[in-house]
Amino acid sequence: MTQLKNYREVGIFDLLSAPLNPIGAFDAEQFKKDVRKLIDDNPDDKFVAVDLMGLDFVYSDAYNAFVQFQSELSSKGGMLALLSNSPTIADGLRKAGLDRSLKVFSFEAEMMSFSLHSHGPADSAPVQEAAPAAPVEPEPTPVASQNGYSMAEGEVRAERRTGHNRRFTKSFNAVVKDEKKLAAKGMNMPFEEESSSGKTVFFIILILLVLGGVVAYFLM
């Protein structure tokens, strides 16, 4: 049996060259034959990729072949990947609903990086990273009180209103004094009004008596 020569190893992947038909399009039937031979000759290789660089599109029969080998390789813990930087091929995979099931690399360097950081589902269980420790908040620095006295431990501080509530700045003593003044003034007002009314009546009576005396004098 002749050994397949149209592939090379890139990381954990066996990267196949894209088979082309006489008109330069992707040959899906030849691709199936190449992948089948590669898998049969290397049963331990579970990661296969196909180099689509230089191709702007592939036909639907190529998508069917991709799905077929992706299903077969994934059942063994591997995958089928594509090497392509064509927006048209990426759009075709998305429209066919294959953009999530097929791994697409834009450069061989990405395949190498993937190989270094991935061991495949069947090789080893993924290692869970330890959850980062919660950041420790620094204790608040004590601030010196702006009051003229210090408070004993456990004493409840009265609420100090700020902002728009500070417009009510009249002290309690001032309010009490004003109320006392008003009360005193209210207590004195009836007497002052009564005294003023009595004087007025007295003067009126006095004037009437004088006028009565004058009239009586002239009538006599």
Instruction: Note the pLDDT tens digit of each residue in 172-219.
Output: 444 444 555 545 555 444 444 455 567 787 778 888 888 888 777 777
Query: CA 82, 88, 90, 94 torsion: positive or negative?
Result: negative
Better pLDDT: 170 or 56: 56
pLDDT mean over 74-81: 95
* pLDDT digit string, tens, across residues 135-148: 545 555 544 444 44
Collapse the DSSP code of 13 into the 3-class scheme (helix H, G, I; strand E, B; otherwise coil) and give the result. Answer: strand
What is the distance in angstroms between the CA of the first residue and the CA of the last residue of the chain?
Answer: 173
Whether residue 16 has pLDDT greater than 50: yes
- Could you tell me the pTM of the whole model? 0.53
pLDDT mean over 45-59: 95
Report the C-alpha gap between 105 and 86 in whole angstroms.
11
Residue 117 is predicted with a pLDDT of 87
Residues 6+ apart with CB under 8 A from 194: none
Better pLDDT: 161 or 33: 33
Whether residue 114 has pLDDT greater than 80: yes
